[in-house]
Structure 1
Amino acid sequence: MANAALFEFLARIGDNTLILGHRVSEWCGHSPALEEDIALSNTALDLIGQTQLWLGLAGEVEGKGRSADDLAYLRDGYDFRNILLVERPNGDFGKTLMRQFLFDAWHYLLLRALKGSSDQRIAEIAEKAFKEVSYHLDRSRDLVIRLGDGTAESHRRMQAALDDLWPFTGEMFMSDGLDTELVEEGIIPAPESLKAGWDEIVAETLAEGTLKKPADGYMHKGGRRGVHTEHLGFILTEMQFLQRAYPGATW
């Protein structure tokens, strides 16, 4: 059970960075400015690099000989454990930034806590990823403020993005029996323990960006437990095409 719980956690966090990294990479060559094109591409690379570490460790813990590549490219949709937020379509530039900010604020707090994990392997990955995610949060927070408190049009778009994405944020703070087991062993923080810090970061950012926090009342559809929207199917079709079309291809 201990290995099963640990594998599940590693798959959850690795799938989050994998799916969001792919989503963000879709902006490569399509961003509104060259600087943003480079910045988003670098963010995507950071997330994919983190995925390799998390899913690599997941494969090791599982003990079935599966590599990070196997877990990323050879699983079907119902085996993915990411939260629904990271599946959401990019939409316009403002929506992509808002999705990134809401995730970054949570990701930052999770990694900060994981640096103190009783599992040294997790602590080491968290230490490395935390430096990257600290920058991600600084950047996404700054842009949310600038666009929220910018023109009437940028403000409208950022508020619309926030209203659309907000119902998907509650899943980040939900826990189950597998989480409880790992929390008791000091491996991970209790998911709900991150909410107060996340609320504080988000509230301060929205206030500076003159954006209105939507009413609470989170929606949860169990994304990380294998119930996804149709968006994941489209992502996997693109992401897994090469491996599915040419199994075991190397170059």
Structure 2
Amino acid sequence: MEIKTHTHTRYILGALAAGFMLMTAACKKNSADINAVNKPVVEAYLVAGQPLSLKVYQQKDLTDTATYGVALTGLSINVSNGSQTVKLTEGAGGTYTYSDAAFITAGKTYTMQFNYNNATVSASTLMPGKPAGFKLTDSVFHEPNIIDPAYNDKVLQTVTWSNPDSLQHILLFKNLDSNPFEIIAVRSNRKPSFEINTERTAIYNITQNTFKYYGHYQVILLRVNDEYINILSSNTRGSSQNLVNTPTNVVNGLGIFTAMQADTLNLRVTTQ
């Protein structure tokens, strides 16, 4: 079933943004990259069939505990899909939007551009096609009553999809329960909701250690681009003595301007 509601989309974007904010806060600011503190941070996740939303703010200091840096307002931001160029409307908190959901479609390359501090800030991304052939072995997963370490890698169920071209996909397991019940026997550090980088494969194997919590899940498959995978895979969570700059596809700026499509299935994790 395709994701069609704004609620699902808000969850996806919220989950991605939460990880991205941790990464951008960890950008190293040393003498070799002192100009980075003056670069705007762009954050945009384009979803086919949804209104376009883009956030721009100043890079945070490492000691800043705020969720975002100071919003950058008064910008004139244009986005083109190759045949049409639109100007985004400024809203609150450095958020710029374009409300026509028909503007974002598969197969088109989207280019963003604005001027800041006498420099042209730009980025581009390709809207991928929808994930195809998304399937679960079963809509119910029975967690074994006894967790045997000898069978940690035994495949109990699978998530599969079509991926003949080895495209990038992310799996999100979203727990829908307000107070999920922990599977005590499982030695896992995962939260109720978690994401998996599928490493260009077309299958994810579910084992006795996959879930840390029982409950109802949405299993969301995202087809994404390299710029998001680069950020997801970057090593920015070391100590303050070993921080590195987060990858970015924004010219004369920081952050991410990327596109994705999604499909979702339902799964219930229960006792055997």
Q: Name the TM-score, length of structure 2 as normaliser.
A: 0.23
Question: Which protein has the larger Cα radius of gyration, Structure 1 or Structure 2?
Answer: 2
- Structure with greater helix percent: 1
